[in-house]
Amino acid sequence: MKLYAAAASPFVRKVMVVLHETGQLDSVEIIPVVTSPVQPSGAVQASNPLAKIPALERGDGPALYDSRVICAYLDQRAGGRLYNRGWESKILEATADGIMDAAVLMSYEKRLRPQDKQWDGWLDAQQDKVLGGCAALNARWMSHLQGPLDIGQIAVGCALGYVDFRHPDAGWRNGNPALAQWYAAFESRPSMQATQPRDA
């Protein structure tokens, strides 16, 4: 299988952590790519018409895309351990993916949009989603986060890691001490240490 990837992407990181945690790293060739909304990669677009990463080419069917689909596929291939905590796993993954979406939109606004067209109100609104998501995790999801490893935990770990990487001043730890404490322990897992975000 071939995974179109970039080390800065939290969505790619989810897939990489799943590969580590399920012992499937040797099954996938990582193809590093550069893609953005304004300069889409042709190679990625050939696998994913939306030109987004991650995208996974496999020999036995159409390419898979969207990190949720890829993670569910890889988990099933490994015996299905990461999605077996019911709807809670999926809601938690969706919450974390929403934090990633908002944080990536903030990154694109700051890095891709010409400075004279940037809109602080829109940036603030995306940051409100990041912080609102973190507050909900701290208030409602701590017992799930502290339970057996699942895709929800992996997604939350990757979302928080990305916020620290691109938006270190967002202040998500303020008012969320339980979440901050959980993350400090979770990010020390070998799968998280091996996949820390970086620019190419």
Contact 200, 41 (CB under 8 A): no
Q: Which residues, numbered 18-57, are part of the site for ligand 99T (CB under 6 A)?
A: 35-37, 40, 51-54
Interface of this chain with ligand 99T, residues 152 to 181, rule: CB under 6 A: 166
**What is the DSSP-derived secondary structure letter of residue 147?**
S
In angstroms, give the least distance from the CB of 103 to ligand 99T: 8
Which conformational region is residue 66 in: left (phi greater than 0), alpha (psi within -120 to 50 degrees), or beta?
Answer: left
Distance CA 126, CA 9 (A): 17
Residue number, 111 or 117, with CB nearest to ligand 99T: 111
Residues 80-119, mask of contacts with ligand 99T (x by CB under 6 A): -----------------x------x--x------------
**Which tokens is 141 given?**
């999801």
Q: How far is the CB of 175 from ligand 99T (least distance, A)?
A: 25
Gap between the Cα atoms of 174 and 176, Å rounded: 5
50 or 184: whose CB is closer to ligand 99T? 50
CB of 28 within 8 A of CB of 39? no
Q: Which residues bind ligand 99T (CB under 6 A)?
A: 8-9, 11, 35-37, 40, 51-54, 66-68, 97, 104, 107, 166
